[in-house]
Copies of this chain bind each other. A is one copy, B any other.
């Protein structure tokens, strides 16, 4: 079965729970974006994704992108689907109207990309980097670069890549060796080899715009010596630039997305931003790019859930322990959805998808606020939220995409291990989301070591206090969620103290800390959902109960683990 976007689920979360309309109305840029417009837009997006993109998923995996002598052919149907995607204006959804975009909020764009990932992650990789490149050029490109490239990228007419990784420089970009030599005409000559370049070559668009991290001669070693250079496949004068896709990788999954080795031989390019400020120019879009990866995780997990749920409602094996209403007189076995172990898998994945969605949409809204609020303090508060919550979501949602998809595969028994049902593709495709855009371990270190510890947890505590104030302590679930927030705030202080005695400690427990943070945030999300949902509506009450019963116990385990590590570090030796 193909993935089916379900706008009604999203509209409930965005409009009933988050009251997105009110928040958007408060931003001048989105004064016109009311609930009706959002509903209409998501309706159209859902149809497009479901009818045009989802049906290509299997073929994309089986045929894959094909390399031949430097050229890459995308899987059957991808080129036409991409053209329809551009023609309908979907790439330009959140780009600014002055750049040819539609100026719509990130909170709506988020849903489009979540659905695209659920429907066809291989396809989604192509336009997936477009927004990052757009933001990067918009904020740091010269006027000439902006004039030449911004509209083409915002509209999706040309696609873009981020050329960062080299064979010896992955998580550690400071080791990058690609050279950029300034020329008298103000251009750069770029030479070096980049690996893991998603969409480095393809037949979807006429031109491809590479943003290449490189080092100028005499630049200092390490990250501060890096510059960002825009290197197009085709130069403005119509000549082919001296760059080439040397090969594409054989991967575990995501076969529809060509992962390219790109060779630059004195290729012509132009600086984006100041020399030596290449990482800063890229980091303008880091929160937004990481949130997109979190949304990929949510989409993929939802796709796995849809497959497992459908299978569990038609497959009969063995008797359920208690006679279910679905057992007919002639049924020798019950639907497997009636078996408690299957029920638990489905309900817990549903709890992850829905809770994570609420958090991701709130974060997308904060991106909108950070970009568009007229009040500086409000913008800063929104940026603080994004800074702390984005690594949590990137890590937790992609972790769950892979592990939850694997649990959904298990629902199929042996049928899950064969290609036919498509569930094993979700497991393979989702695995890479735990790695790219900063590995999940790096997200955890980013959160704890780079963000929480420097002010001994005060900044993150301020985010949590915002959330606390949205809850009603007279309701038991909400009071519990508040208590967990207090425990998380205190934990930041504990780790900061213990780290003075043992500087390794925060690196050892960063993953656990991030899980505590995610479960705390999920507690807020489910408290909000439960308050907004009609009482006893099983659509929301069932995953809410699953969250409390099956997922929350991890909170105490991780909290205890970190606390004991802190105590051990602080104890006299």
Binding site for B on A (CB under 8 A): 165, 168-172, 174-175, 195-196, 221-222, 249-253, 259, 316-318, 321-322, 332-333, 339-342, 344, 402-403, 406, 409-410, 413-420, 424, 427-428, 431-432, 434-436, 439-441, 444-445, 503-504, 506-508, 510-511, 549-550, 553-554, 556-558, 560-561, 565
Contacts and interface: CB of A to CB of B under 8 A. Distances in A.
Contacts of A251: 417-419, 424
A165 B341 contact: no
Given A259-B418, A549-B561, 19 more contacts: A169-B317, A195-B414, A222-B332, A251-B418, A321-B504, A340-B507, A406-B431, A410-B434, A410-B435, A413-B435, A416-B435, A417-B431, A417-B432, A424-B431, A427-B431, A549-B565, A553-B558, A554-B557, A557-B557
A403 to B, nearest CB: 8
Contacts of A504: 321-322, 340
A503 B340 CA distance: 11
Contacts of A169: 317
* Pairs A-B, 10 closest by C-beta atoms: A557-B557, A252-B424, A340-B507, A172-B317, A250-B419, A340-B508, A341-B441, A249-B418, A172-B318, A170-B413
Nearest to A252: B424
Nearest to A561: B553
Given A171-B317, A322-B503, A333-B175, A344 B417 contact: no
B431 A409 contact: yes
A184 B410 CA distance: 44
Contacts of A409: 431
13 contacts: A171-B317, A174-B318, A249-B418, A252-B417, A252-B418, A252-B419, A340-B504, A341-B444, A402-B406, A410-B441, A414-B435, A553-B557, A556-B557
Chain copies in the assembled complex: 2
Nearest to A506: B321
Main secondary structure of the interface of A (DSSP, over half): helix
Given A418-B250, A427-B431, A557-B556, A440 B410 contact: yes
A209 to B, nearest CB: 22
Contacts of A341: 441, 444-445, 507-508, 510-511
Contacts of A168: 316
B175 A428 contact: no
Contact of A410 (B406, B415, B439): B439
Nearest to A434: B410
A221 B342 CA distance: 25
A510 B321 CA distance: 13
A163 to B, nearest CB: 14
B402 A344 contact: no
Contacts of A259: 418
Contacts of A507: 321, 339-341
Contacts of A440: 410
- Please indicate which of the listed interface residues A196, A321, A558 has the most CB atoms of chain B within 10 Å of its own CB: A321
Contacts of A436: 414
A433 to B, nearest CB: 10
Nearest to A507: B340
- Please indicate which of the listed interface residues A340, A415, A432, A504 has the most CB atoms of chain B within 10 Å of its own CB: A340
Contacts of A342: 441
A508 B345 CA distance: 10
A269 B244 CA distance: 62
- Please indicate which of the listed interface residues A170, A434, A440 has the most CB atoms of chain B within 10 Å of its own CB: A170
A324 to B, nearest CB: 11
Contacts of A318: 171-172, 174
Nearest to A259: B418
B175 A332 contact: yes
A419 B406 CA distance: 20
A224 to B, nearest CB: 13
- Please indicate which of the listed interface residues A316, A339, A403, A418 has the most CB atoms of chain B within 10 Å of its own CB: A418
Contacts of A414: 165, 170, 195-196, 432, 435-436
A342 B171 CA distance: 13
Nearest to A510: B341
Contacts of A221: 332
A317 B432 contact: no
Contacts of A415: 170
A279 B410 CA distance: 24
A317 B413 contact: no
A2 to B, nearest CB: 19
A31 to B, nearest CB: 43
Contacts of A174: 318, 332-333
